[in-house]
Chain A
């Protein structure tokens, strides 16, 4: 290195004199190196001279076309870059605005702006600008611009205009990349299995048990495949229902392979732990009366109906308190509505073993009976065993009917009903 530095400094004319003065052993190497260096310098000089002054006849056309293409690409690329810059400036402006707004809001609420979090913002906006708009997206909000502006994609093409990904023309390269990997892994496993079988056949004496086979297979108990929406979010892509189903079938096939444990990390990406729909820990504890009698209290709303329920252990007495007066089960005129109240008790097999006290308001009769059924079955969960709760769930009694009342349309008598048509 010292030599190179020196040679760089020295005049090319002096080199010969220098080389002669050096010992004979190092002569060859130094001369080779110096020659290479000198040549490269000369070539550079020549090239620069050529570019500036003279042009070779054969390289003329090629150069032209190269220049044109470069111009085209640069237009697309420049457009992209322009857009990116625009967006960046916009985001910068919006974030500044957001920060200022956040500070103002914190000041209005009389809180510290430094420790003002997104939850605080949401809470204070709900307080300051209460909105009854049905669609929650239409309600006022204050968020960081990154949260609600659509995310910009990275350029899927290089500076030469060719797509970077080899599956670009499939239209969904990320998804097909995963499928490609999956099939490759499956084929590899197949190959490996064949090889192992060959070895097994040769070594007849060694005998493997089925249990060992099981150890090589992945264990999927207590887990489920990832949801389509979650998959879309996780890999930032859009998959339709059909291709998702196909994908799950392929995954299933890979997981059922006898050597699938080797691909545990890959399969693990698409697995979500199974969560039981009803957690026993969520069920509230029993309340106690003044007399020490256990009971459970609930309020259920459905459409316009409101039911306030108290469920006691008892003899099957039913009290229904309505604005019209006090009733027993005959408050409900038709048998079908009374059977609604009976059903949860029948599922648990405890008819006439509970007392009901209900306060009933608004709503139609069938709606009230349905709300009462839901309230009873929810309150029953506190009294009965886990098996019975599962029975209730399977009977569909623990899912509330969330359908709202359909609005009345103008020019019509109700939601669907029209006025009677009269000729004149």
Chain B
């Protein structure tokens, strides 16, 4: 039955896009005799045409859960609790490797054939602040936090990234950052200084992302280095090489990627005084900068965050010794290595999924409060101070209602019981107004 239900979902979604294409597809399928079972036959055969309601006429009618304004520059508190559509072209620029949100989110975007984000209070609040900021002052730091996990910190970050991309900011985006500390793809000792660790592939990935996100702006600005950089005894780049050339150079010589990464960050940071451009730094899970790592040297001695070259460089972005910049960061416990109080369990790590893990002795699940003071600890708190904490709360009733109506519009809820008022109340009860839980509950219906 689940297969039939999913098929129904997919088919009905496709109907919104193009009906003709679907029938062509059906014909092809039948010709190639790829049908597996009777359920598919029922849906894909020519004799019994699938009952598909065509909602092309309804498409033009604005729904109350949809925002008519898709440009994030014009978003304000009037458009609260509504979904706006992100252009696919924009998304490919902002989030080229689909790292900003979770895998579940991208699966939904693919199924719905569109990327829709909810306009929520914290995002609007930060946008309001950014509009009014005096950028000649030192960097502004925002910290997004929630009292629970899964309240939508990353999606607000995506919204802010979209806004800044439209507003011609230079984007520096560090998504899924703490994975480097847990298990870097490749590591080698640094040539620049002894005892440090280079993570060339991660650095190259960052440079790639950076170049995709800011390709247009970098070409316009045509930034050049102000210093001669020596990568090794033989290789060096002279003063006045464009940054884009440096990135290309890193692609060819991945060995130097982490050093080049540091050089680019240095150049961007100290050329902001020219007031030619503004920098928007988005850091996911900023508290992992102030914790332990899982990496070890050959002699089994522990590696600190400051010993990793790119981490050291990224950490400089969080300081407020530069202007024309805004830093927005999130803090969280999921996927972050946190020092545990128990001696037997060195770290919390939620990648272990035990159903009853909360009750298992020496469990590796962090259950403490999720406020900045608890997660950043003393070191991180004083490093980031002064910062503006912004809470991302779980759904209010109206937000939950709009999300529910959106799913309903997308034919995501197939069970008839889920479409009734009682069903909605049940989903609300089971999810506890948590957006991620709401999403997961609705996946199964």
Chain A residues near B (Cβ < 8 Å): 316, 318, 324-325, 328-331, 333-335, 338-339, 341-342, 345-346, 349, 351-352, 363-365
Q: Which residues does chain B contribute within 8 Å of A346, judged by CB atoms?
A: 426
- In the complex, besides A349-B422, A352-B428, 14 extra interface pairs with C-beta distance below 8 angstroms are A325-B367, A328-B432, A328-B433, A328-B434, A329-B430, A329-B432, A330-B432, A331-B358, A333-B355, A333-B356, A338-B430, A342-B430, A345-B429, A364-B356
* Identity of the chain A residue whose Cβ is nearest the Cβ of B436 in the assembled complex: A330
Partner of B148, one of A328, A349, A351: A328
Instruction: Name the interface residues of B125-153: CB closer than 8 Å to any CB of A.
Output: 148
A329 to chain B, nearest CB (A): 4
Q: Which residues does chain A contribute within 8 Å of B441, judged by CB atoms?
A: 335
Q: Which residues does chain A contribute within 8 Å of B74, judged by CB atoms?
A: none
Is residue B368 contacting chain A, with contact meaning CB distance below 8 A? yes
Partner of A318, one of B356, B369, B432: B432
Q: Chain B contact residues: over half helix, strand or loop, or mixed?
A: loop
Q: Is the CB of B367 within 8 A of A324?
A: yes
Q: Is the CB of B425 within 8 A of A351?
A: yes
Partner of B368, one of A325, A333, A335, A342: A325
On chain B, the number of residues with a Cβ less than 8 Å from chain A's Cβ atoms is: 22
**14 residue pairs bridging A and B, Cβ less than 8 Å apart:** A325-B368, A325-B369, A328-B148, A328-B434, A329-B429, A329-B430, A329-B432, A331-B358, A338-B429, A342-B426, A345-B429, A346-B426, A352-B428, A352-B429
Q: Which residues does chain B contribute within 8 Å of A365, judged by CB atoms?
A: 355-356, 358-359
Residue among B148, B358, B434 with most chain A CB within 10 A: B358
How many angstroms between the C-alpha atoms of A387 and B435 in the bound complex? 36
Query: Closest 5 CB pairs between A and B?
Result: A329-B432, A324-B367, A351-B425, A328-B432, A352-B425
Q: Which residues does chain A contribute within 8 Å of B426, judged by CB atoms?
A: 342, 346, 351
A216 to chain B, nearest CB (A): 52
Instruction: Name the interface residues of B27-42: CB closer than 8 Å to any CB of A.
Output: none
Q: Which residues does chain B contribute within 8 Å of A325, judged by CB atoms?
A: 367-369
B158 to chain A, nearest CB (A): 23
Q: Is the CB of B358 within 8 A of A333?
A: yes
Q: Is the CB of B358 within 8 A of A324?
A: yes
* Identity of the chain B residue whose Cβ is nearest the Cβ of A337 in the assembled complex: B355
Q: Mark B381-421, 1 if CB is under 8 A from A, else 0.
A: 00000000000000000000000000000000000000000
* Identity of the chain A residue whose Cβ is nearest the Cβ of B149 in the assembled complex: A330
Is residue B437 contacting chain A, with contact meaning CB distance below 8 A? yes
How many angstroms between the C-alpha atoms of A333 and B356 in the bound complex? 8
B362 to chain A, nearest CB (A): 14
Given A316-B428, A316-B429, A342-B429, A330 and B437 contact (CB-CB distance below 8 Å): yes
Q: Is the CB of B429 within 8 A of A330?
A: no
Q: Which residues does chain B contribute within 8 Å of A364, judged by CB atoms?
A: 356, 359
How many angstroms between the C-alpha atoms of A365 and B444 in the bound complex? 22
A309 to chain B, nearest CB (A): 16
Chain B residues near A (Cβ < 8 Å): 148, 355-359, 367-369, 422, 425-426, 428-434, 437, 441, 444
Q: Which residues does chain B contribute within 8 Å of A341, judged by CB atoms?
A: 429
How many angstroms between the C-alpha atoms of A349 and B359 in the bound complex? 32
Residue among B367, B368, B369, B434 with most chain A CB within 10 A: B367
Given A325-B367, A325-B368, A335 and B359 contact (CB-CB distance below 8 Å): no
Q: Which residues does chain B contribute within 8 Å of A342, judged by CB atoms?
A: 426, 429-430
How many angstroms between the C-alpha atoms of A346 and B423 in the bound complex? 10
Q: Which residues does chain A contribute within 8 Å of B428, judged by CB atoms?
A: 316, 352
* Identity of the chain B residue whose Cβ is nearest the Cβ of A342 in the assembled complex: B429
Q: Which residues does chain A contribute within 8 Å of B355, judged by CB atoms?
A: 333-334, 365
B306 to chain A, nearest CB (A): 31
B374 to chain A, nearest CB (A): 11
* Identity of the chain B residue whose Cβ is nearest the Cβ of A346 in the assembled complex: B426
Residue among A328, A330, A338, A349 with most chain B CB within 10 A: A330
Q: Which residues does chain B contribute within 8 Å of A333, judged by CB atoms?
A: 355-358
How many angstroms between the C-alpha atoms of A334 and B148 in the bound complex? 16
Q: Is the CB of A351 within 8 A of B367?
A: no
How many angstroms between the C-alpha atoms of A308 and B444 in the bound complex? 32
How many angstroms between the C-alpha atoms of A316 and B424 in the bound complex? 13
A324 to chain B, nearest CB (A): 4
* Identity of the chain B residue whose Cβ is nearest the Cβ of A341 in the assembled complex: B429
Q: Which residues does chain B contribute within 8 Å of A345, judged by CB atoms?
A: 429
B204 to chain A, nearest CB (A): 38
Residue among A333, A341, A345 with most chain B CB within 10 A: A333
How many angstroms between the C-alpha atoms of A324 and B434 in the bound complex? 20
Q: Which residues does chain B contribute within 8 Å of A318, judged by CB atoms?
A: 432
Q: Which residues does chain A contribute within 8 Å of B356, judged by CB atoms?
A: 333, 364-365
Residue among B148, B422, B429, B444 with most chain A CB within 10 A: B429
B424 to chain A, nearest CB (A): 10
Q: Which residues does chain A contribute within 8 Å of B425, judged by CB atoms?
A: 316, 351-352
B148 to chain A, nearest CB (A): 7
How many angstroms between the C-alpha atoms of A341 and B426 in the bound complex? 11
A338 to chain B, nearest CB (A): 5
Given A325-B367, A334-B355, A364-B359, A351 and B422 contact (CB-CB distance below 8 Å): yes
How many angstroms between the C-alpha atoms of A264 and B425 in the bound complex? 56
* Identity of the chain A residue whose Cβ is nearest the Cβ of B367 in the assembled complex: A324
Residue among A345, A351, A363, A365 with most chain B CB within 10 A: A351
How many angstroms between the C-alpha atoms of A325 and B148 in the bound complex? 12
* Identity of the chain A residue whose Cβ is nearest the Cβ of B432 in the assembled complex: A329
B399 to chain A, nearest CB (A): 15
A335 to chain B, nearest CB (A): 6
B149 to chain A, nearest CB (A): 9
How many angstroms between the C-alpha atoms of A346 and B429 in the bound complex? 11
A68 to chain B, nearest CB (A): 81
